[in-house]
Structure 1
Amino acid sequence: MFIALILWAAPVYAIDVLALYKDDQAVRTHLRTLPKNEVKEYITQVMLPGDQVRLEQVEQLLKTTENLSSEEYFAAAMIMQHGSDPAHYKMAMELSQKARALDPSNKNASWLSCAAEDRYLQKIDQPQIWGTQLYRKMNAEGTHEIYYLENFDKNARSDEQRVQCGIPTLAGIEAKLEKMATLTDRNKQYRLWKTGT
């Protein structure tokens, strides 16, 4: 007697890295709208668990897919940039470099390759070299928090290299931080850092 065995497999769903990136950015956009007293809980209850899920999905995608577009590599890189381990930041740097190699006009990828390198270096207790990783502290007058750069080797990269990555010159960075320090609203400070307005 012949018995046929039928094995049922769960359906395999494609991982849409661009949708994951959209979610990643939406969480951060919402975070910047919250009152200060709600930020910590939102980060621990919503953002960090979501980051972990998205990161695991990107890791799975990279194991099973070899050919991604420049935008997909950039999206994957940004999700890895929001990991917690030096290996995540190193992978973010490598993925953004792939995105830039596929499309040299992808300015977001150029910037992210430098930002990921800074984050990786800081995670392994080395100074950042591009000037992309900001920290917050109370200003000298004690009136509001301001952004500042910590552990920054200003001479490791030239202004020309920074501009090629979409990062301001050293003078531009310092001027921007000074202007940001005059603003009391953290969201306005952040917007000025990211957009210049």
Structure 2
Amino acid sequence: MSAVWRVVTLAALLGTPALAGGGPRVATSVLLGGASCQPYIGRVTFGVTPDTGASREMARIVALDQAARQPGQIDWAVVAREDEARRTQTLALLRAGRLSSAADYFNAALVFQHGNCPQHYQLAHLLAGQALARGAPASDTLPVGWLFAATFDRWQLSLGRPQAYGTQFSNTPDRCEWRLEPVDAVTTDAQRERLGVPALGLARAQADIMNARCRGELP
């Protein structure tokens, strides 16, 4: 199953061409389970009516999400509790159908990619797809295409499957042993390039660079 097939299938689910800009003309809903998720998702609605209050709230939520991950001494137990609260706040906006813009969905995807169950990552991928479909502006730091790929990879790994695009790394705690998580052999570098994802060879090289930096061999 190729990455292009996945993109096209997502477009059919959302009722819009995923990489062509624009977006659905009517609100669409999706029902996701996840009994072990914190919080449980249920039905969410991808709205189409601008809601400036909801957009401001979503921007505030994602700013806190990103600030919690700035370099320094991070208490991950505290961050996990705060992440759950941010997911709950974001979910309330989604259940009410109040999010509608590309920026809204991009921000919501960032929040849910820090979830704690496969359905959270699945929702993050759907949200990134909505942002992509609505023509989210390009970003030098985190392109929406990359987020679309990364959320798919995180979702697949959470299900015990190989990732498709090669965006996810793991590290042995307290050791310089970064490695690229398993990648399926079907996705091509051309498909990665389409989403702004580095070629697989570059991803593997990145693991070596991170290990060298960890060992103090590179600045």
Q: TM-score, normalised by structure 1?
A: 0.74
SS in 2 for 1:87: helix
SS in 1 for 2:164: coil
Q: Which has the higher helix share?
A: 1
Q: Whole-Å Cα distance in 2 between the matches of residues 130 and 76 of structure 1?
A: 21
- Number of residues of Structure 1 aligned to a counterpart in Structure 2: 162
The match for 1:83 among 99, 102, 115 is 115
In the alignment, which residue of structure 2 is the partner of 1:134? 169
In the alignment, which residue of structure 2 is the partner of 1:152? 183
Give 1:185 shift: 6.5
List aligned pairs for 1:3-18, cutoff 5 A. Answer: 15=54, 16-18=57-59
Matched, 1:43 2:76: yes
Give 1:137 shift: 2.6
Give 1:105 shift: 4.3
The match for 1:70 among 96, 99, 102 is 102
**Structure-2 change in CA distance of 1:23 and 1:103 (3 Å):** same
For residues 94-137 of structure 1, give each alpha carbon's deviation from its aligned partner in whole angstroms, at most 9, with x where no partner exists: 01111011115445221111111111111111111111111003
Q: Whole-Å Cα distance in 2 between the matches of residues 181 and 105 of structure 1?
A: 33
The match for 2:67 among 13, 26, 29 is 26
Give 1:159 shift: 0.4
* Aligned partner letter, 1:177: A
CA RMSD of aligned residues (A): 2.4
Q: Whole-Å Cα distance in 2 between the matches of residues 104 and 157 of structure 1?
A: 24
Matched, 1:162 2:197: no
The alignment-based identity, stated in percent, is 29
For residues 147-182 of structure 1, give each alpha carbon's deviation from its aligned partner in whole angstroms, at most 9, with x where no partner exists: 2112222x2211011122221101211222222221
Q: Whole-Å Cα distance in 2 between the matches of residues 120 and 164 of structure 1?
A: 20
Higher Cα radius of gyration: 1
* Aligned partner letter, 1:27: A
Matched, 1:171 2:206: no
Gaps of 5+ in 1: 1-13, 190-196
**Divergent runs of 4+, >4 A:** none
Q: Looking at both structures, which has the greater relative contact order when contacts are Cα pairs under 8 Å and sequence separation is at least 6?
A: 2
Q: Is the 8 A contact 1:148 1:177 kept in 2?
A: yes
Q: TM-score, normalised by structure 2?
A: 0.67
Q: Whole-Å Cα distance in 1 between the matches of residues 58 and 144 of structure 2?
A: 15
